[in-house]
Amino acid sequence: MSRSEPNAIHEAKDFSEELRVERSDNGVVTLTLNRPHVKNAITSEMWEPLRQIFHEVRENPNDRVLVITGAAGAFCAGADLSGGAATGGHAMDSMHTVNAAALALHTLTKPTLAKVGGDAVGAGMNLALGCDLVVAGESARFSEIFARRGLSVDFGGTWLLPRLVGIHKAKELALLADIVPAREAMELGIVNRVIPDDELDAFVDDWANRLAAGPPLALQMTKRMLANSLGSSFSEALDAEAWSQTVNFGSKDTIEGIMAFVEKRPPQFKGR
C-alpha cells in the first residue's frame, strides 16, 4: 500500500479480546478499548497489556502517532470493579500495574490523541488526559468519579488535572466527582476540541494523519520539552531548545523540510 491511502489498515492485532490495535500504512496506530457491554471499563488483567502496547508503539520506528478510543460510542468507564476491589498487599500490587501503564503512556515519545465518544470517567478520564490531545464528541462526558466509589484519584489524575485546570478547579472536580459535559470540559481546558458525534471519526483521522506526516524527531523533542516545561527554568528551556535544534539541523528531515519549502511541495519526513 502507498502513502496515498492514509487510512488503509495494514495490520490489526488483538492483545486480548478487550484490546484491539490497528496500524495504518502511514504510521497511525489506533488502540480501541473493546468492552462495550460495560462502557469499555478496564479489568485488572488489561493494565499490563496496555503498558505493553504503549511500550511497543514507543519502540516501533514505523509508528508515528497513537489514537486511543473506545468501542460502541463510549470511551472508558474506568476500572472494572464488578469483581470487587483488591485489598491489602493485593491492592498495592494491582496499583503498581496500573501505575506502570500510566507511566508508559506518559513517557511515550510519539504524539498521542484521545478520541472520546460517550463517557470518560475515573481512570478512563485520566487515560484521555494523559494523551497529548483530546478530541471529544458532543455527547462525551468526563468525571473524576472516584469519590463516588469510595476511592481516591489514580492513573496520574492528581498530577495531570492541576496542570490542565489549576489547583482549585482540580480539587472541585476530584472532591465533588461531578460529571462534566464535553463543552464545559473544553472551557476548562480538559478537551482541545468538541465535534458533532457524527463528525468525530473524520476529524480525528485528519489530526492523526497530520501528526503522522510531521517530522518525527522534531515532534518528539517538542513534546518532551513541553512536558518538562513546568519543572524547568526559562534558561533550562532555552538550553533544551538549543540542543533540540542542533539535532534537527543535523537531520535529513530538516533538509527535506527546507527543500520542500523552496520547491513548494509537501515535505516527506522520514524520521532521521
Q: What is the pLDDT of residues 41-50, one digit of tens each?
A: 999 999 999 9
Question: Is 7 strand, coil or helix?
Answer: coil
Domain ranges of the chain: 9-213, 216-262
The class (CATH top level) of 9-213 is alpha beta
Residue 272: pLDDT band (50, 70, 90) is confident
Share of the chain above pLDDT 90, in %: 88
Which residue reads 518532551 in cell numbers? Answer: 224
Which three cell numbers mark 176? 465533588
> What is residue 23's three-state secondary structure?
strand
Model's pTM, two decimal places? 0.92
In terms of Cα–Cα distance, which of 2, 55, 44, 11 is closest to 30?
11
Is the pLDDT assigned to residue 3 strictly greater than 50? no
Helix or strand holding residue 243 (H, E): helix 234-249
Q: What pLDDT, on a 0 to 100 scale, did the predictor assign at position 147? A: 97
The answer to whether the CB of 141 falls within 8 A of the CB of 180 is yes
Q: Which residue has the cell 473524520?
A: 202
